[in-house]
Chain A
Amino acid sequence: MDEERRVAAARHGDRDAFRPLVEAYARPLFALCVRITRDAALAEDAVQEALFNAYRHLRDFDGRSSFKTWLYRIAVNAALEQMRKQDRHRVEVADDTDDEDNTLAEQHAAESPGPEAHAHGGEIASRVDAELARMTLLERTAFTLRHAEGCSIEDIATALSMNSSACKQAIFRAVRKLRHALQGIR
């Protein structure tokens, strides 16, 4: 049975038809959610919520976008909701803050000091990881969706309920911050 038929069957209440969809998408959704939340436990909760919400609202899926795009949109919102619940970050739409608060970056570096971190490649990875943790939730989410997940700016803007211009600006800020973070080690 292909994905389209499984979705149609699940939409009519066939719970077991939804299982292969869960098995196909749970891990990719986790990868997406953990990039947004930076926390494996929160990401797992977000995946759980996203799939449950998707099942409950399958009738709203009109097939205009792919099932994957629709599901990713729900997962992004579930991940953001987990972050809001935790009150760890604020969604910021203001311009680049460029503050010098390195707390999270330093904390993260201290948590993962593996031997490879001293090598050049490890240093780059460590700085990228720290900068992704430090940037605003909106910037990280928009950038992750564009860079790691290959989503279009239009889809990202829809998922984040913003216009495409604001979405582009969030991505530009993220790239600027990452460039700044890697200056001096290349």
Chain B
Amino acid sequence: MNMHPISDNELVLYFYRDGLDARRIAEIDDALFAAPELRRRYTALQRLLHEIDAAPVVEPDAEFSQRVWRRLAARIDAQAPRRAWRSRIAALVRVPSLRAAFAAAVLALAVLGGYEAGRLGAPDADERTRTAASRILDAYVAAHLRSTEGLLLTAANSDSAELRAADHDLASALVESNRLYAAAAARDGNTRLADFLRQLEPVLIELANRPRDAPVQSIEDLRGYLRETDLLFKVRATEARLGAAETHRT
């Protein structure tokens, strides 16, 4: 069988064992064994690529990492105040034991908001009350979706048993709060958000009930489901929409 001649470029790829299929690598293996001229060319290439390592390496000073961190921390802190109250909400919502309580509080606020608006009757007061309730709901749901996004990413990508066990607990906490946020959104008249949250519920229930030692196939199934439904994208998009709405209001 005739084989394509082996070029120098292919020998470069062969050296790195990258960019060639297994069959071509095997052909080059055989040719190197059989052809002294090719072997000479490859030895010269190996020598060249090893010699390149002789180029001087510039090392940073000993304080480099600390200096980078100090500057970075200052920049991160300088950004922080603009999102401080949202971050605080997000941090509180991440506490598992408080999730359901916060969700219930948001639902109560939405109900109270509607009641107050109806009782006061004045259009301005109505609007103000509704806006305040919506803002709070949006902020809490955005934080809830951030947690959900993290859960889905870890559940679909992590092989760590420890992380999967943590996912199990997180999913259980998120199921209940998700249901309450969906009810609050419906109460607030935000049917789009309510429908989306209801769409999330089966996935959260599935993750909450998944065995802690879930087989690889079940992770593959989850990945397939996320791909087919674009659920991660929808979570991010909804979260971004809520964030944009908040920015627009402020």
Contact = CB atoms under 8 A, between A and B. Distances in A.
Interface of A: 2, 4-5, 8, 11-13, 15, 18-19, 22-23, 26-27, 30-31, 34, 40, 43-44, 47-48, 51-52, 55-56, 59, 62-64, 112, 121, 124-125, 128-129, 132, 146-147, 152-153, 164, 168, 171-172, 175-176, 178-179, 182, 186
A128 B53 CA distance: 9
A110 B15 CA distance: 33
A134 B174 CA distance: 56
Interface of B: 8-9, 12-13, 16, 18-19, 45, 47-49, 51-52, 54-60, 64-65, 68-69, 71-73, 75-77, 79-80, 87, 90-91, 94, 146, 149-150, 153-154, 156-158, 160, 163, 232, 236
A132 B58 CA distance: 14
Contacts of A152: 18
Nearest to A112: B56
Contacts of B12: 171-172, 175
A125 B55 contact: yes
Q: Is the interface of B mostly helix, strand, loop or mixed?
A: helix
B73 A146 contact: no
B171 to A, nearest CB: 15
A23 B66 CA distance: 7
A115 B94 CA distance: 61
A27 B64 contact: yes
A40 B60 contact: yes
B227 to A, nearest CB: 11
Contacts of A44: 60, 64, 68
23 contacts: A12-B91, A12-B94, A12-B146, A19-B69, A23-B65, A26-B68, A34-B58, A44-B60, A44-B68, A51-B72, A52-B72, A59-B146, A62-B232, A63-B153, A125-B55, A125-B56, A129-B56, A168-B19, A172-B8, A175-B48, A176-B8, A182-B48, A182-B51
A81 B12 CA distance: 29
Nearest to A156: B18
B60 A128 contact: no
B54 A22 contact: no
Nearest to A47: B68
Contacts of A62: 153, 157, 232
Contacts of B80: 15
Contacts of A13: 87, 90-91
A125 B54 contact: yes
B48 A178 contact: yes
Given A128-B51, A168-B13, A30 B69 contact: no
Contacts of A63: 153-154, 156-158
A64 B157 contact: yes
Nearest to A56: B79
Residue in A172, A175, A182 with the greatest tally of chain B CB atoms within 10 Å = A175
Given A4-B160, A12-B146, A59-B149, A179 B48 contact: yes
B68 to A, nearest CB: 5
A155 B160 CA distance: 24
Nearest to A19: B69
A128 B54 contact: yes
Nearest to A185: B51
B51 A124 contact: yes
B68 A51 contact: yes
A12 B93 CA distance: 11
